Amino acid sequence: MKRRLLSKSKYINGLQCPKLLWTQINQPESIPELDIVTQYIFDQGHLVGEYAKKLFLSGIYIPQDDFMGNIATIKKLLAERKPLFEAGILSERIYCRVDILNPVNEDEWDIIEIKSSTSVKDVHIDDVSFQKHCCEKAGLKIKTCKLGFVNNQYVKNGAIDPKELFILEDISTQVGETSESIEERVFSLLEVISDRTCPEVAIGQHCLTPYECPLRAGCWGFLPENSIFDLRGGKTKQFSLYEEGILSIKDIPNHIPLSRQQKIQKECVMTGNVHVEKEEIQQFLNKLKYPLYYLDFETIGPAIPMYDGTRPYQDIPFQFSLYVVENDSSEPVHHSFLAEGREDTRPQILYELQRLLGPEGSIISYNSGFEEGVLEELVEAFPEYTDWLEGILTRMVDLLFPFTNFHYYNASQKDTASLKKVLPAVTGKGYEDMGIGAGMDASIAYERITYGNATEEEIARVRADLVKYCKLDTEGMIWVVDKLRKLSD
């Protein structure tokens, strides 16, 4: 029988949920394939890892293709006392691959784990504590443990400077505290993967943290439509109700205190009616001054900044859709911009917006804080637009407002006021048949066709999908406002 190893990633999964660990080992076909967003996050992490290696120019990369070959090579290279990248360490039934194993003093080593996050998280401590345990079991002396993460205040100016891009933080103390009972945890998880039967694990907060479990859809499948996990508010309230045996919003007893929004939800679920507060909706609509400009941005936020003057994960616009409605009797006029090529997209975005946005009238966005933030960062980089921007920001109106405040609520929205839920709830129209149907999908698709090796045919298809998607975001806002006007009459 093949010996089943406990690797670093499996250890982290096991800490989150023994059922997830068992399934990963014994029924891997039950684990859903990675969606494109998760795969993109992993790819960004790999890219960050490649830049981190530039911190140690004398380092040696050990190929990972041959599992036992990697481990054997490491044993030989340890004597050379050079930084080792992707060092595979095997001790009995536990295994880890260390991002950077850096020699210090005469016979000690530092573990340096590289993450694409912008701060130290609890899960990182567990990650590194397992590596330290594995290395020490294999006979290595570990001096310090460090976490390298992305400095989101770093501003690119020419070639990427790895020393400025990364913050290396000594986490030895936290790792030491976490390591006190690691032997027992490792033993327990080794028993899990060796068991013939899958452990029974009730749903709980662990399904959501530190990552959403890939088995969640199956484990939560018994819940009814409009379950208590669709209740607006924090997870603490939801799990408290669940632990009392309450599964549906409609079954929440009257003696349990609910917020105003939660009471509205319960009423809508029980009656099937839509909640409408006409007076509040009318007050919102009165803020809209013609001409109306419906604006939506699509952005990329790569971990490694692409343009001078930008930071890691900064939202860089590459596309906008703009509908202009001159007065209450005019037809909307659509304007679209989608960047081409690999040059900095921001100057042309600003030029086009200044050309199209007139000097007066409301500028309507959905969750406008995002658009406002993008505009403010644009002007930081191009201060010649400062005076113009000040006028723009005073005219911004957030269409999210009546929905996040439940002046309108349809039970089909569940616990969210996002446009992806509000648009079909209000108008019956949605994003189901779109080639691209979400903002993150749009960002990933744009990066792929612009900076990857896409064919001309794929580029043309994706660009058409991007235009269609961004257009629906703004056209959808027009439909929503028209519906609100009818409801408030």
pLDDT band at 35, cuts 50/70/90? very high
The pLDDT tens digits of the residues spanning 269-302 come to: 999 999 999 999 999 999 999 999 999 999 999 9
pLDDT band at 2, cuts 50/70/90? low
pLDDT at 488: 85
Residues of the chain with CATH 3.30.420.10: 281-488
Q: Give yes or no for residue 1 having a pLDDT over 50.
A: no
Considering the chain, what is the average pLDDT of its residues?
95
Of 108, 150, 111, 477, nearest to 313 by C-alpha is: 150
Residues of the chain with CATH 3.90.320: 6-194
Mean pLDDT over 440-454 rounds to 95
162: helix, strand or coil: helix
Q: Give yes or no for residue 32 having a pLDDT over 70.
A: yes
Q: How many CA atoms lie within 13 A of 171 on its CB side?
A: 29
Instruction: Quickly list H helices, 179-320.
Output: 182-194, 216-219, 235-243, 260-271, 278-285
Of 408, 405, 411, 416, nearest to 486 by C-alpha is: 408
pLDDT at 261: 96
Q: Give yes or no for residue 157 having a pLDDT over 90.
A: yes
In terms of CATH architecture, what is 6-194? Answer: Alpha-Beta Complex (3.90)
pLDDT band at 409, cuts 50/70/90? very high
Place of tokens 């007893």: 253
Mean pLDDT over 460-473 rounds to 97
Continuous segment of H or E residues that includes residue 365: strand 363-365
Please report, for residues 48, 306, 326, 378, 460, the alpha-carbon distance to residue 132 in angstroms, rounded to integers and kept in the order given.
22, 35, 65, 44, 49
Q: Which tokens sit at 40?
A: 């993109």
Mean pLDDT over 353-368 rounds to 96
The pLDDT tens digits of the residues spanning 178-192 come to: 999 999 999 999 999
Q: Give yes or no for residue 461 having a pLDDT over 70.
A: yes
pLDDT band at 66, cuts 50/70/90? confident
Residue range 281-488, CATH number: 3.30.420.10
